[in-house]
Amino acid sequence: MVGLATAFGSGAMTNSIDDIADDAQAFFVIGTNTTENHPVIGMRIRQAVRQRGAKLIVADPRKIDLTNFAVLHLRHKPGTDIALVNGLMHIILANGWEDKEFIKNRTEGFDDFKAVVDEYTPERVSEITGVPLEELQQAAEILAQNKPTAVLWAMGITQHTTGVGNVMSLANLQMMLGNMGVPGGGTNPLRGQNNVQGACDLGGLPNVYPGYQKVTSPEIRSDYARAWGLSDEQLSLEVGLTATEMMPLALEGKLKAIYILGEDPLMSEPDTNHIRQAMETCDLVVLQEIFPSETAPYADVLLSGASFAEKDGTFTNTERRVQLVHKAVESPGIARPDWWIVSELAKKILKEGKRQIGEAAYSGWDYQNAAEILEEIAALTPIYAGVSMQRLENGETLQWPVKDQDHPGTPILHVGQFARGLGQFTPVEHIPPVEMPDENYPMILSTGRVLYHWHGGQMTRRSKGLLEIYPEALIEVSEDDAERMGLNGSRRVRVSSRRGTIEAQAMVTDRVPPGMVYANFHFPEASANELTIAALDPVAKIPEYKVCAVKVEAV
Amino acid sequence: MGKVNFTIDGKEIQAEKGVTILQAARQENIYIPILCDHPALPPEGACRICLVEIEGQRALHPACTYPISEGMAVSTNTPRIRAARKFNLELLISDHPLDCMTCEAAGNCLLQDLAYEYDVTEDRYEGTKHHYSVNDPNPFIQVDRNKCILCRRCVRACREVNGVEAISVFYRGFSAYIGFGADSSMDNSPCEFCGSCVAVCPTGALWPKLSLGEGRPWQVDRIQTTCPYCGVGCQLILEVKDNKIIKVDSAWDGPSNHGWTCVKGRFGYDFVHHPDRLDKPRVRKYLLDGKKKPAAEKRKPEIEGDPWQWVEVDWETALGITADKMLQIRDDHGSESMGFLTSAKCLNEENYLMNKLARQVIGTNSLDHCARL
């Protein structure tokens, strides 16, 4: 998100699922195992390939299912995305295939950027990435000849210490090809959770108020202070802590309390041991959840929330589309919608605490329903200004920015002009992952999800059919490595990193290349995050889930 | 593309060149019955129910595959057509179980509707009937080949929509049946259990196992909502009976998914009713007793009376204790000693309120969620 915001002034999927699926002449799919993690988009890509002959390039160290539909599979080494994309751009420039008009009229910073790309000769890139020269050439040709090309990625691009650089490279590529602001093109990060887009949009980040308005801006702060009945000084101009920064501070005793809504840090954060200790050290852990999750043993208070099927409101999907959630059933017992719980708690704190809150348009917490909260959101969030429950219930389908009640929403971003004016080319250099294999930990571990489970697995492990078809963690091991270790297909493996050890069943497969294993974080008894490293991208603070060094042994 | 002028049942119609009679009829809201066609799938021409008469032509033609042409005069409901359709329905019924009273699909079955419309009351043709066993071992989809009418909707959904080709028709004529992979079970095929085949099956041949015996179409409330799993934002219709979700149906107007789903969206809803659900707030006993938090190594929550034991409480107690503790920590250590994790699974409205709680009520920007994880 930071990467796209730097390049374009706005960090979200630029295009819509429909226009990508219907209009892209080619797809460059890098770091997204789409058919397992965003299956319906994966379906749409397969349809595009099958029904209208769209060309698919997959760049992924793993032989994911989509490679069966690809004209080209670039199997680059984990953590070499920047080198790969720079190499493709080098070939495009060397052949004069770039969109010179677009670069001239719509972008800036091209010369500095080009100076860096010039250094990434095909020979050097092939050396770094392990991709053969002729495949680099073929890929560059396909990208140059098929306009528009849609670039799609997910956590395979962002979960690296170079995550922001990876994203900027892809933004560079799409600007160079002139694929921005057109149906079937764009930079399209696929969001992994039902409302991760909405959580980002509505201020669930330490650096921005709702609508990506910076907390460091005194003007924005004044706006919120006025709306919420505060004096300016009562709101901080300092950027807060990210989740990945909170845990180390808790361990140092500096963060005393943590309030967690619908998250399971024990499963989803890197280096689980470290998270356990951090949680144990806190004076107060409040967990608002629908299940006693893996984090629950560390909580002091457990507040019983409502599931998606038990409340009305909205989610925002990966293509920035605000959609309705409707209550279908009653919650069990006295479980309550999360908005009710948070409101009641806020009222108690305000009543009993010393912080002075004045009368203002949105200072109060007396909400009768989600629609009232959405009205407040619209008033304080320019990109949601025209969103209302009434419009959505009338069947309007709104993609932000929705500037006012009459604005139809924005299916494609950056048409004619980027949010920041001119698109910014940024030179990006290849930097290897923080923890590379060595003598003691000779293999690379990469992590992610599988089709039948989702994130920490709290929901899918409690779903009968999903658990039956995928009942335990499987660790993908290449045939070469399996043979070397003496695995006969039904053996268990022990995977260890500097941070922890897990044991699980091996899945011997050609999906992973020799020297690499792949594990998921769906099962607490063998969660990949016992092993992962809490090394962060310096800007986005995202952990390097896709590369760490491990040792793998037969049990 | 040019326009073509022609008539259906005497009504003058103009439609795009290249469309079929069925497509043109649908645009004009003219009803032509059909089993094998589905608006979201390419036409197949398998069921012979949509037969129509075209003036000047001896044979009846299927409306679903026959293209319109200039000056063509189409009839959709003559005695000859009705007789032909009835004959074809009788053939289908002659090899179909007449168990509508217990069939899951009753009330939501095209074959049942057409048998009613064409007054097909009994099995008129004596002869061999299929007796397939209903035992595909996969966890999601019941496969009852006895109820299959070989319309091939599932074949097309799997091939054209999901793109995996797990389903095909094996053998021909009376021996033909729907099979999976290399004529194996569903879980031994490339099937990803997206459920597209179930969504388009016109009879009870393919049915969600989770929904068996749970309720009739006319007994349920249908509520459209957004899927709780990945970020695609598929629209789903939850079928609810007696406060229980019993089935997920396709929302064909969903702007991002157009009715299709993945296995989690279609079959992964039962967590909502799992016995592990938290139905009351809980606090640790030490909080109720006003004691100090026990050190990590001394926590024995399974022992009765332990300070780390969970105690179920009402909302007033739970929220009162939480507010007191939060205020105490803020008074002692400042607002920067508190962190908030909001949720990528919760509503927009709830995320906004978490932002307001952290910033307005507590006074910290240390608020994040698992976008990076």
Task: Kindly state the average pLDDT of the residues A382-408.
Answer: 96
Q: Which domain holds residue B193?
A: 137-213
Cα torsion angle, A28, B164, A51, B264, sign:
negative
pLDDT, position A460:
95
Domain ends where: B213, B234, B253? B213
Same domain as B288, residue B273: no
What is the average pLDDT score of chain B?
A: 94
| Number of domains chain B is built from | 4
Q: Does residue B127 fall inside a structural domain?
A: no
pLDDT, position B121:
81
Task: Kindly state the average pLDDT of the residues A325-339.
Answer: 98
Q: Which residue from A249, A315, A352 is facing B347, i.e. has the nearest CB?
A: A315
Cα–Cα distance, B362 to A348 (Å, whole number): 12
Same domain as B340, residue B258: no
| Amino acid in the structure at residue A112 | D
Q: Does residue B335 fall inside a structural domain?
A: yes
Q: Does residue B349 fall inside a structural domain?
A: yes
Same domain as B249, residue B173: no
| Confidence tier at B324 by pLDDT (50, 70, 90) | very high
* Residue B337 structure tokens: 């000693």
What is the average pLDDT score of chain A?
A: 94
Residue B298 has pLDDT above 80, yes or no: yes
| Confidence tier at A271 by pLDDT (50, 70, 90) | confident
Q: Which residue from A335, A341, A344 is facing B279, i.e. has the nearest CB?
A: A335
Task: Kindly state the average pLDDT of the residues B332-354.
Answer: 97
Nearby residues of A390 by Cβ (< 8 Å), 6 or more positions away: none
Residue A342 has pLDDT above 90, yes or no: yes
Asked if A50 and A69 count as a contact pair (C-beta separation under 8 A), the reply is: yes
For residue B25, the Cα-to-chain-centroid distance in whole angstroms is 27
Residue of A nearest to B279 (CA): A333
Distances (CA, A) of A443 to A440, A483, B135: 9, 15, 43
**Cβ burial, residue A326 (10 Å; 0-12/13-18/19+):** middle
In this predicted structure, which of A265-269, A277-281, B217-221 has the lowest mean pLDDT? A265-269
Cα–Cα distance, A52 to B29 (Å, whole number): 30
Asked if B160 and B168 count as a contact pair (C-beta separation under 8 A), the reply is: no
**Do B231 and A317 count as a contact with CB atoms less than 8 A apart?**
yes
Domain ends where: B91, B118, B149? B91
pLDDT, position A378:
98
| Confidence tier at B43 by pLDDT (50, 70, 90) | confident
pLDDT, position B370:
83
For residue A530, the Cα-to-chain-centroid distance in whole angstroms is 20
**Do A464 and B162 count as a contact with CB atoms less than 8 A apart?**
no
| Confidence tier at A185 by pLDDT (50, 70, 90) | very high
CATH assignment of the domain containing B18:
3.10.20.740
| Confidence tier at B56 by pLDDT (50, 70, 90) | very high
What structural domains does chain A harbor?
A: 2-190 (3.40.228.10), 196-399 (3.40.50.740), 443-554 (2.40.40.20)
Residues above pLDDT 90, as percent of chain A? 89
| Confidence tier at B188 by pLDDT (50, 70, 90) | very high
| Confidence tier at B2 by pLDDT (50, 70, 90) | confident
Same domain as B189, residue B230: no
DSSP at B162: I
- Mutation test of the interface with chain B: which of A1, A52, A193, choosing the one with the most B Cβ atoms within 10 A? A193
Residue B372 has pLDDT above 90, yes or no: no
More confident residue, A412 or A535: A412
Q: Does residue B122 fall inside a structural domain?
A: no
| Confidence tier at B149 by pLDDT (50, 70, 90) | very high
pLDDT, position A1:
63
Rounded (10°) angle between helices A133-145 and A122-129: 110
**Do B350 and A317 count as a contact with CB atoms less than 8 A apart?**
no
Query: H or E element: which one contains B225?
Result: strand B221-226
Task: Kindly state the average pLDDT of the residues A504-516.
Answer: 94
Note the pLDDT tens digit of each residue in A43-100: 999 999 999 999 999 999 999 999 999 999 999 999 999 999 999 999 999 999 999 9
pLDDT, position A489:
61
In this predicted structure, which of A272-281, A360-369, B121-130 has the lowest mean pLDDT? B121-130
Q: Does residue B41 fall inside a structural domain?
A: yes
Task: Kindly state the average pLDDT of the residues A438-449.
Answer: 94
pLDDT, position A490:
67
What value does the CA radius of gyration of chain B take, rounded to a whole number of Å?
29
Report the SS3 class of residue A513: coil
Flag whether residue B245 sits within 8 Å of chain A, measured between CB atoms. Answer: yes
Q: Does residue B156 fall inside a structural domain?
A: yes
Residues above pLDDT 70, as percent of chain A? 99
A501-508 and A474-477 as β-strands: parallel, antiparallel, unpaired? parallel
Same domain as B364, residue B351: yes
Minimal C-alpha gap between B238 and chain A (Å): 7
For residue B180, the Cα-to-chain-centroid distance in whole angstroms is 20
Report the SS3 class of residue A360: coil
Flag whether residue B191 sits within 8 Å of chain A, measured between CB atoms. Answer: no
For residue A161, which residues of chain B lie inside 8 Å, CB to CB?
none
Cα–Cα distance, B73 to B75 (Å, whole number): 7
Distances (CA, A) of A473 to A159, A190, A195, A504, B270: 21, 24, 26, 6, 21
Report the SS3 class of residue A233: helix
Q: Which residue from A17, A268, A342 is facing B256, i.e. has the nearest CB?
A: A17
More confident residue, B42 or A334: A334
Question: If you search the block for the tokens 């290449």, which residue do you land on?
Answer: A478
Residue A2 has pLDDT above 80, yes or no: no
**Do A263 and B339 count as a contact with CB atoms less than 8 A apart?**
no
Task: Kindly state the average pLDDT of the residues B133-158.
Answer: 95
Task: Kindly state the average pLDDT of the residues A123-134.
Answer: 97
CATH assignment of the domain containing B146:
3.30.70.20
Same domain as B304, residue B247: no
Nearby residues of B322 by Cβ (< 8 Å), 6 or more positions away: A286, A301, A303, A345, A348
Length of chain A: 555
Q: Does residue B111 fall inside a structural domain?
A: no
pLDDT, position B1:
63
Task: Kindly state the average pLDDT of the residues A144-170.
Answer: 94
pLDDT, position A194:
94
Note the pLDDT tens digit of each residue in A451-507: 999 999 999 999 999 999 999 999 999 999 999 998 876 689 999 999 999 999 999
**Do B371 and A200 count as a contact with CB atoms less than 8 A apart?**
yes
How high is the ipTM of this complex?
0.95
Q: Tell me the sheet residues that pair with B51.
A: B62
Rounded (10°) angle between helices B79-94 and B110-117: 130
For residue B15, the Cα-to-chain-centroid distance in whole angstroms is 33
Same domain as B367, residue B288: yes
Cα–Cα distance, A69 to B49 (Å, whole number): 36
Render A25-91 in DSSP notation, one character per residue.
SEEEEES--HHHHSHHHHHHHHHHHHHH--EEEEE-SS--GGGGG-SEEE-PPTT-HHHHHHHHHHH
Q: Does residue B125 fall inside a structural domain?
A: no
Q: Which residue from A50, A239, A332 is facing B365, i.e. has the nearest CB?
A: A239
Task: Kindly state the average pLDDT of the residues A248-257.
Answer: 94
**Do B232 and A40 count as a contact with CB atoms less than 8 A apart?**
yes
**Cβ burial, residue B173 (10 Å; 0-12/13-18/19+):** exposed
Query: To the nearest 10°, the Cα dihedral for B353, B354, B355, B361?
Result: 90
- Mutation test of the interface with chain B: which of A301, A362, A377, A461, choosing the one with the most B Cβ atoms within 10 A? A301
| Confidence tier at B128 by pLDDT (50, 70, 90) | confident
Domain ends where: B30, B61, B91? B91
